[in-house]
Amino acid sequence: MPHPDIQDNPVLDSRVTLNELEAVMAVARRSSFRQAAVDLNVSTTALSQAIARLEANLQTRLFNRTTRSVALTAAGEMFLLQVGPALSDLRMGLDAVRSHNAEPSGVLRINAFATAARATLLPLVLEFLRQYPQVHVDLVTEGRLVDVVAEGFDLGVRAASLVPSDMIAVDLGQAQRYAVVGTPAYFDTHGRPQTPADLHKHACLRIRLPNGAIYPWHFERNGEVTRIEVSGPLTLDESSVARAVVHAGLALGFFMEQDVLAETEAGQLERVLEAWTPPRDNLCLYYANRRNPCAALKAFIAMARAHPSSSHPG
């Protein structure tokens, strides 16, 4: 359907800017003008105007907009299919030019889940920024698994088993491990579970995943895998809030070990079922195989490979 703004404007400017193309990709990625504007560091008004200009030039609407949602039209879906790969090639070409700079610069976008960002990635990022002050690192932490290429990230951090097979991975060490914890007062009152099945007799915090599903507590011992659908007073999706509830003595919590290590070492929280929560996969930094990565990306990967916790896989 022709864009309504072009009805009285038959002579159109055929020039399309890179900023306009990037604007469409950002809104499609985020399904939100506001969030896309934040990603691109522009105002929502400027972003809307850029897309309106492009739609006018193309004589078609790329997005259906309501007060509550933004969705691609059929033409918008075609845009992503046809223009998206070409835009990716253009980005790589520009990155190749930038890679000739002696000093890494520009923006490096990294996606990681919160625990990995705090415990493993942040020290590496801080060291990198001290060495390369001309680089801006945009670190996005979220629980959902994302396609780092499709969503415009240079790097991702996930457990090794979750890294896509077509990506290059750098082992960061730091094996992941779950921990079931409660306060000493809770255990004095309610006793300590000896097996995962005993959790059915306890108040436990339920974990909501980013997709809305409730995550079963996961246990493993001698090859035996057990998943427990716990019940309790609250369902939460944020680790720091969950820890506050556990500290209040209302329930047991299920966390990544690194998130509660300080409290368990200080005796504020006590750990149970430790034999049922063995170490799992190491964390990996991963990225797409690009012919000409930018200087900042090459420098960060080199630093990650040289980091003491990395195992330098071949």
Domain range for residue 32? 4-83
Tell me the per-residue pLDDT of 86-100, one tens digit each, with 9 for 90 and over: 877 777 677 666 655
Answer yes or no: do 76 and 200 share one domain: no
Low-confidence stretches of the chain (pLDDT beneath 50) = 1-13, 310-314
As a whole number of angstroms, the distance between CA 67 and CA 81 comes to 26
Specify the amino acid at residue 252: L
For residue 293, how many other CB atoms are within 10 A of its CB? Answer: 20
Tokens at 158, concatenated: 């996930």
Helix (H) or strand (E) holding 19: helix 18-30
Per the domain annotation, does 90 fall within a domain? no
Answer yes or no: do 269 and 290 share one domain: no
Tokens at 188, concatenated: 């004095």
For residue 224, how many other CB atoms are within 10 A of its CB? Answer: 9
CATH number at 138 reads 3.40.190.10
User: How many residues make up the chain in this entry?
Assistant: 314
Answer yes or no: do 183 and 251 share one domain: yes
pTM, to two decimals: 0.57
Answer yes or no: do 289 and 158 share one domain: yes
Place of tokens 């780092």: 148
State residue 115's pLDDT score: 76
Per the domain annotation, does 208 fall within a domain? yes
Per the domain annotation, does 217 fall within a domain? yes
Question: How many domains, in total, are found in the chain?
Answer: 3
Answer yes or no: do 23 and 107 share one domain: no
CATH number at 266 reads 3.40.190.290
Q: Residue 231: phi, psi to the nearest 5?
A: -135, 155
Answer yes or no: do 257 and 196 share one domain: yes
As a whole number of angstroms, the distance between CA 31 and CA 72 comes to 8
Tell me the per-residue pLDDT of 166-225, one tens digit each, with 9 for 90 and over: 889 998 877 778 999 999 999 999 999 999 999 999 999 998 887 788 989 999 998 888
Answer yes or no: do 255 and 199 share one domain: yes
State residue 41's pLDDT score: 85
As a whole number of angstroms, the distance between CA 270 and CA 267 comes to 6
Which residues, including other chains, have CB under 8 Å from residue 215's CB and lie 6 or more apart? 206, 207, 208, 209
Domain end position, chosen among 83, 112, 130:
83
Per the domain annotation, does 91 fall within a domain? no
Which residues, including other chains, have CB under 8 Å from residue 273's CB and lie 6 or more apart? 180, 193, 195, 196, 219
State residue 40's pLDDT score: 86
What value, to the nearest 5°, has the Cα angle with vertex 142 and ends 213 and 200? 35
State residue 7's pLDDT score: 38
Answer yes or no: do 150 and 223 share one domain: no
Answer yes or no: do 136 and 210 share one domain: no
Per the domain annotation, does 312 fall within a domain? no
Decide: 112 and 121 in contact? Cβ < 8 Å.
yes
Place of tokens 């020290």: 123
Answer yes or no: do 189 and 261 share one domain: yes
Per the domain annotation, does 295 fall within a domain? yes
For 174: left if phi > 0, alpha if psi spans -120 to 50, otherwise beta; the answer is left
